[in-house]
Amino acid sequence: MKRELPILLTVLCGLGITMAFFSSSAGDPDDLPLGWTKAVNSELLAWALVFFSVAFILGISNLVRISLKTISSRGEDWPYKAVMLIVLFGYLGIGLMEIHQQRYGFFGSTEDAVVGIAGQGERAMRDWVYFKVFVPLQATMFSLLAFFIASAAFRAFRARSLESTLLLTAGAVIMLGQVPGGDELTFGYAGRALAFTMTYINGAGQKAIIIGATLGVLATGLRIVLGIERSYLSE
């Protein structure tokens, strides 16, 4: 029963959401042949949001537990885990204080609540921390990664085979087309070659990959809904 009940719930929920997706959305849902599926779908999505929130809290709790254990035992990279916890709870505290200030004011008075609601149009403190601290740090990390990418590209762009020659040609076309000087040196041909490559060659490859991934997701979803795929039961 421990295995049959989760499979039964998965099949029922999957079929309900699928039927709601393919049912018509025009008019009153109560007048539709499959109108009841929309109500079931809305209820399932609401429950999914609750489960997601609970899972999010459990994930944070597990992260905090493991980090505190590493910090207390002075394990590997414990200073980084300490900084992570400080940033985590500091940013969470800023968000909670701003929510409280916007709704009730810092002192709970009506005047403070009005001022807090009126100040929602201004950039919040959490946004300032995100754009002034996190975004520059993220840009720094990606800037450092650019050197590793350039080194890997130098090793990969060697015409030793047909595939590497095609990679080298495509990379040269893309780089010349992206740089204004390269387009001027080739009298505009690099820009046109870039547009052709990105629209027809790269676009066709992306569509093929997306179609293949979609078919794979559809097949996996059908296996789960029909009870064939049971990997989520930790078999």
118 occurs within a structural domain: no
pLDDT, residue 208, reads 94
85 occurs within a structural domain: no
Is the confidence at residue 41, as pLDDT, over 80?
no
pLDDT, residue 24, reads 59
141 occurs within a structural domain: no
Is the confidence at residue 210, as pLDDT, over 80?
yes
DSSP state of 226: T
Give the least confident one: 108-122, 145-159, 164-178. Answer: 108-122
Question: In the structure, what pLDDT confidence band is assigned to residue 43 with cuts at 50, 70 and 90?
Answer: confident
What is the Cα Rg of the chain in Å?
27
196 occurs within a structural domain: yes
146 occurs within a structural domain: no
- Structural domains of the chain, count: 1
Q: What's the pLDDT tens digit per position in 164-202? A: 788 788 888 888 888 778 777 888 788 888 888 888 888
Long-range contact set of residues 141-146: C-beta below 8 Å, sequence gap at least 24:
none
Q: Residue 164 sits in which domain range?
A: 157-225
- Are the beta carbons of 102 and 112 closer than 8 angstroms? no
Long-range contact set of residues 85-90: C-beta below 8 Å, sequence gap at least 24:
88/60, 88/64
Residues 198, 219: Cα–Cα separation, whole Å: 30
Collect all residues with Cβ–Cβ distance below 8 Å to 153 and sequence separation of at least 6.
Answer: 171
Which is more confident, 163 or 70? Answer: 70
Q: E-strand spans in 52-142?
A: none
183 occurs within a structural domain: yes
186 occurs within a structural domain: yes
Quick one: 191 exposed, middle or buried, by C-beta within 10 A (0-12, 13-18, 19+)? middle
Report the percentage of the chain scoring pLDDT > 70: 83
Phi, psi of 159 (to 5 degrees): -75, 75
Q: What's the pLDDT tens digit per position in 122-135? A: 457 888 888 888 89
- Are the beta carbons of 67 and 81 closer than 8 angstroms? yes
Is the confidence at residue 144, as pLDDT, over 90?
no
pLDDT, residue 25, reads 53
Q: For the chain, give the mean pLDDT.
A: 79
Q: Does the predicted TM-score (pTM) go above 0.75?
A: no
Residues 151, 121: Cα–Cα separation, whole Å: 45
Residues 186, 175: Cα–Cα separation, whole Å: 12
172 occurs within a structural domain: yes
Q: Quick one: average pLDDT of 109-126?
A: 50
Question: In the structure, what pLDDT confidence band is assigned to residue 112 with cuts at 50, 70 and 90?
Answer: very low
- Are the beta carbons of 187 and 176 closer than 8 angstroms? no
